[in-house]
Amino acid sequence: MTATKTPDTLDRFGLDKTGGTPPSRPTHHDGWVPIRDLHARHRARILDHLLQLDDHDRYLRFGFQASKEQVARYVASIDFRRDEVFGIFNSRLQLVAMAHLAAMPGEGPHGAESSRGRAMEFGVSVLPQGRGKGLGSRLFQHAIMHARNRGASHLMIHALSENAPMLRIASKAGAAVERDGPEAEAWLKLPPDTVASHIDSSLQSLAAEALYRIKYQALHASDWLRLLMTSA
């Protein structure tokens, strides 16, 4: 989980400093975890996911103790035309892990222009039942590919220094971690996009969406059969 705490970023996310499905394992096949693209129509599911984080997890995710109202404003402010949001669902189609790949404020269609070039920011949250499975790392690698395909030269994580799991994911990927007291930034230089990276991204998105639809139909068919048997 990552913190996002600079004033510009808080404004961009619509945040300020005022103011039951049973758990199950994520679906996977031969080590591949389907990561589904989320869109504006999924805001309610994104909000439900974030509100399931406890106070400490929410503190690590946003860098301060965000209230339910502040989290709701953050979700409402996500610009799906500019940013990308990804999710991992378990076998009951509960959103157990979610990442937000945000274009950083600045000139240019793909993010901030700085001494590092165009950058995008990565934020992630994983529910307790999804931890210990490497879902945060999988979402980070997924975000790397998408940021490359968006023309970004760097991927940035702004996290609390105490958020060791998030900083460890960044360091393991080769990011340079810069600490400044209670906060830290991790910057990962990205290779340019290729035809292969665009094809890979498209195929993964299509496969994840198709598998989700299959699971959705199977789950609802099972619920329908169970209801039919109990009413017989």
How far is the C-alpha of 48 from the C-alpha of 66, rounded, in Å? 14
- pLDDT tens-digit profile of 159-168? 999 999 999 9
Would you list the domain boundaries of the chain? 7-231
Amino acid 218: pLDDT: 81
User: Quick one: what percent of the chain has pLDDT higher than 90?
Assistant: 64
Least confident piece of the model among 24-28, 57-61, 154-158, 184-188 = 24-28
213 falls in which pLDDT band (50, 70, 90)? confident
Least confident piece of the model among 17-21, 104-108, 122-126 = 17-21
Regarding the domain delimited by 7-231, which CATH topology (the fold level of the hierarchy) does it fall under? Aminopeptidase (3.40.630)
Amino acid 217: pLDDT: 84
With beta carbons less than 8 A apart as the criterion, state whether 184 and 167 touch.
Answer: yes
How far is the C-alpha of 10 from the C-alpha of 63, rounded, in Å? 10
Rg (CA), the chain: 18
How far is the C-alpha of 209 from the C-alpha of 153, rounded, in Å? 28
Mean pLDDT of 63-77: 95
Beta bridge partners of 120: 103, 155
With beta carbons less than 8 A apart as the criterion, state whether 100 and 73 touch.
Answer: no
Amino acid 229: pLDDT: 63
194 falls in which pLDDT band (50, 70, 90)? very high
In the predicted structure, residue 14 carries a pLDDT above the cut 50: no
Helices and strands (H and E) in the chain: how many: 7, 7
